[in-house]
Structure 1
Amino acid sequence: MLSQIFILSSKGDRLVYKDLRGEAAGSSMDLTDTFYRKITALPRDQAPVFMVHEGLHFVHVRHAGLYFVATTGHNISPFTIIEFLNRLVTLIHDYCGALSEKTISLNFALIYEMLDEMLDYGYVQTTAPDVLRNFIQMEPVLSKAFSLLDLGSVGLFGAETQQSKVAPSSATSRPVLPPHGDQGARNEVFLDIVERLTVVIAANGTPMKVDIQGEIRLKSYLPSCPEMRIGLTEEFCVGKSELRGYGTAVRVDECAFHSSVKLDEFESARVLKVNPSQGELPVMQYQLSDDIPSALPFHLFPMLERDPLGRLCVYLKLRCDLAPKSQALNVRVQLPVPKGVISLSQELSSPEQTAELQPSTKAIRWVIPRFQGGSQLSALFKLEIPGLSPASLLEVGPVNMSFELPMHTCSGLQVRFLRITAPSPALPHRWVRYVTHSDSYAICL
């Protein structure tokens, strides 16, 4: 059983707080402040999910910079609490649209009503959207009305495109459940293949670690729950089994399916069948390590030397090995430099790029908004470092990159078709989208 539920902003501001059992020893402000002090006092990137304070257990998840926290003083499985918090996040996203501090603030009354229906004296009653839909009466408050006409020039995941019929990524940020009395057309289905790429490359250019974590996500705006058939690549293999068919095989080390997915046609035809309710559903998760079928998207060629004025010159040539029709977005290159650096001068190969020296982390941040496949960009950084020595060069690097690759999967997994079997007078719009992103692409110098 749960004692308290609260939502905090990234700065520790209390957005939602509900005491379920009246067991809090102090005030609600003391409880939230205690949690935020403990979580921010921990070393960076080492925040635990579970914390204990005076016999009270804090369990939290973090989404979109917000802390979703539950407390309990009873002997309850912590993984049950994590599952409940994740479902709460999904429900808020489905009811209120894009998840942000502003969204929570505008819809706090709706969130309190959801918690009242989901929990009774700390005991979870239901998290099913189909059940809650019959009891929730509050209307969601949108921060900005959605208009597909305003975003017609925006492509998948923020990329510009000449095809105005392509659904933008923000199309899925509106609420799944329409307001009462709203008869607007919302018959859309979004199927996204999202992959997270983790790479470590040695100084000689040899990949030391390549890992892909992928997920197939289905988000349905359909009022009913018709059966959907998702056809994957026919040559899709799980494990080191035999190749299927005569085409290029798409192999993963392991995969897991949602409990509602039917697999009776998976072995024979690589077809997944599911009856999704309104909202978002993780259909399949998969993993692939070391042996990926495609080339790595980026290669870096660094060079370090001292100029006649005694400055350290760092020359970086970055090549994008995607197809010429593809592109990378929001590329960020982080380069640690010696702590004694006092100034930076730079020469960039195009005006769209920006670079700056971050004094707090002693690192150069090189930002490339758009990087076309098959091209290369360069940057020359001249660092003034008093007392520059060979030991100072050891403080340079490794380089860490983050980026987003729309309409690209490193595993090669594709969707052959997305079919809805239930008869309907008007077929819903079906969107299939792909994206690969990475925030851990490390290159040793």
Structure 2
Amino acid sequence: MVEKRAGGRGLCRARGSGSPLTDPPLLLLPSLQQARQGLHFAHVRHAGLYFVVTVLPNASPFAAVEFLNRLVTLLRDYCGSLSEKTVSLNFALIYELLDELLDYGYIQTTAPDVLKNFIQMEPVLSQPFSLLDLSTVGLFGADTQQSKVAPSCAAARPVLSLRGEQSSRPEVFLDVVERLTVIIAANGTPMKTDIQGEIHLKSFFPGCSEMRVGLTEEFCVGKTELRGYGTTVRVDECSFHSSVKLDEFERSRILRVNPSQGELTLMQYQLADDTPAALPFHLFPTINHDPSGRVQIYLKLRCDLSPKSHAVNIHLHLPVPKATLSLSQELSSPEQSATFQPSKKSIEWVIPRVQGGSQLSALFKLEVPGLSRARLLELGPANLSFEVPAHTSSGLQIRFLRFVGPQPSLPHRWVRYVTHSDSYVIRLSAG
């Protein structure tokens, strides 16, 4: 069943029998705060920057937060990326955008196709854009740490071409981004496993007529649609942008959309506590201690991905007792690194890359004066962050990405996948 929802981003929701899918903002959770009587502040945070708006009592705070999210998306479309340096370089452009977006506090439009007819300023790039520069490569739909899994710098590229710039062949990027929330008990049993997925579109193709996105044919929403044959990709719920046409979704799992230049979240989905694939990582800790205050922590990290897959930017954060004075370490390979952070009282174990089916180990020796049972309880839990390029934990795949109707030139089409940890917590037992 598909239903329309009033207000908000105008998403359609396909309901299943699982837990409800809440609709978080496109960026991070907003914050509402009363400044003084009759006036409130609403803000969202993105890339270390705060975007703030004042709201009167008779105004909808949800509309204010939605406007801020759309403003951030527009700034990324026009400036390429968002940072303190980008904002300072493009202050005049941002001022012009705000002047067209708002009129005496009333929102006029946030449509990129309408705004580009009135915006005269050109973006100033913080660094020259080059397809050959892979140092800033990242999926535009994934707020990851140092992702290097995209074929070009779509994340930092303005949608509108600069004046005098030679027009290149247009591109369309489709990112399937999944975020894992996992809690694993001390005995290795998963206690919570959630997948939050999104399909992001970023188009550098002006004047596109219609685009058809084919999902996995065995894609099911809820347990009632399970078909009992083949490899099924099941989610609890999914929601769609209001511009997505769903007349072929029930029969053929095809999304139809007429995208404008810029970013668009075509679809959001959720799967809770019933992941079809094994978890990417398992940690096997062994903890020994003696009355003299020495603690030995032996960690074995196993990557349960397919041998054809790999994970990058693995970072394990392990809190240690606050009385810890020193750390010595033995790592299983030279590319790994581990440091003791005295201010945070934690061990930071960093692994640049690990192949599926392999395992790594580390031995940490701590000096903890006055070691007691209470101080041992300060050890852990371990928090793991990572990125897995070209992989989805749900099994969702894009069958095709096609354009319908006469086109002046077909664009380059990039379909990219990434799974990364939103919260991957592993509890330890100090024995």
Structures share a fold, TM > 0.5? yes
Distance 1:152 1:343 in 2: 35
1:353 aligned residue (336, 339, 364): 336
AA aligned opposite 2:45: R
Alpha-carbon spacing, 1:118–1:153, altered in 2? closer, same or farther (3 Å): closer
Q: CA deviation at 1:439?
A: 3.4
AA aligned opposite 2:53: A
Alpha-carbon spacing, 1:418–1:380, altered in 2? closer, same or farther (3 Å): same
The range that moved more, 302-311 or 395-404, is 302-311
Does residue 35 of structure 2 align to residue 53 of structure 1? yes
Q: CA deviation at 1:232?
A: 0.2
AA aligned opposite 2:167: G
Q: CA deviation at 1:428?
A: 0.7
Taking only the aligned residue pairs, the percentage that are identical comes to 72
Distance 1:182 1:233 in 2: 39
1:386 aligned residue (358, 369, 376): 369
Q: CA deviation at 1:261?
A: 0.4
Q: SS in structure 1 opposite 2:246?
A: coil
Q: CA deviation at 1:155?
A: 8.9
Q: CA deviation at 1:365?
A: 1.1
Distance 1:136 1:376 in 2: 53
Gaps of 5+ in 2: 1-27
Q: CA deviation at 1:310?
A: 4.3
Distance 1:210 1:259 in 2: 29
Does residue 240 of structure 2 align to residue 257 of structure 1? yes
Q: How many pairs are equivalent?
A: 395
* Bigger relative contact order, structure 1 or 2 (CA pairs below 8 A, ≥6 apart): 2
> Which residue number in structure 2 is paired with residue 136 of structure 1?
119
2:407 aligned residue (414, 417, 424): 424
Alpha-carbon spacing, 1:443–1:406, altered in 2? closer, same or farther (3 Å): same
Distance 2:45 2:305 in 1: 33
Q: TM-score normalized by structure 1?
A: 0.85
2:269 aligned residue (283, 286, 296): 286
Residue correspondence of structure 1 range 14-29 to structure 2 within 5 A: none
Distance 1:68 1:160 in 2: 28
> Which residue number in structure 1 is paired with residue 357 of structure 2?
374
The range that moved more, 59-68 or 70-79, is 70-79
The range that moved more, 246-255 or 304-313, is 304-313
Is residue 227–residue 422 contact of structure 1 (8 Å, CA) maintained in 2? yes
Does residue 180 of structure 2 align to residue 197 of structure 1? yes
AA aligned opposite 2:337: T
Q: SS in structure 2 opposite 1:241?
A: helix
Is residue 186–residue 221 contact of structure 1 (8 Å, CA) maintained in 2? no
2:251 aligned residue (262, 268, 274): 268
Distance 2:293 2:381 in 1: 22
> Which residue number in structure 2 is paired with residue 8 of structure 1?
none
Distance 1:47 1:256 in 2: 18
Q: SS in structure 1 opposite 2:329?
A: strand
Distance 2:131 2:312 in 1: 22
Residue correspondence of structure 1 range 2-151 to structure 2 within 5 A: 49-55=31-37, 56-151=39-134
Is residue 55–residue 61 contact of structure 2 (8 Å, CA) maintained in 1? no
Q: SS in structure 1 opposite 2:417?
A: strand
> Which residue number in structure 2 is paired with residue 5 of structure 1?
none
Q: CA deviation at 1:362?
A: 1.3
Distance 2:310 2:41 in 1: 43
Is residue 293–residue 370 contact of structure 2 (8 Å, CA) maintained in 1? no
Distance 2:118 2:187 in 1: 61
Runs of 4 or more, structure 1, over 3 Å off, are 150-161, 180-183, 307-310
Is residue 148–residue 171 contact of structure 1 (8 Å, CA) maintained in 2? no
Q: CA deviation at 1:389?
A: 2.1
Distance 1:408 1:97 in 2: 26
Distance 2:371 2:62 in 1: 52
Partner deviation per Cα, 1:26-64 (whole Å, 9 max, x = no partner):
xxxxxxxxxxxxxxxxxxxx9960001222211000111
AA aligned opposite 1:63: H
Partner deviation per Cα, 1:355-403 (whole Å, 9 max, x = no partner):
1122222111111111111111111110001111233222211111111
Q: SS in structure 1 opposite 2:223?
A: coil
> Which residue number in structure 2 is paired with residue 167 of structure 1?
151
AA aligned opposite 2:35: H
Gaps of 5+ in 1: 1-45
Partner deviation per Cα, 1:310-358 (whole Å, 9 max, x = no partner):
4100110000111112111111111111111111111111111111122
Q: SS in structure 1 opposite 2:353?
A: strand
Q: CA deviation at 1:100?
A: 1.2
Is residue 199–residue 211 contact of structure 1 (8 Å, CA) maintained in 2? yes
CA root-mean-square deviation? 2.1
Alpha-carbon spacing, 1:252–1:119, altered in 2? closer, same or farther (3 Å): same
Distance 1:177 1:307 in 2: 64
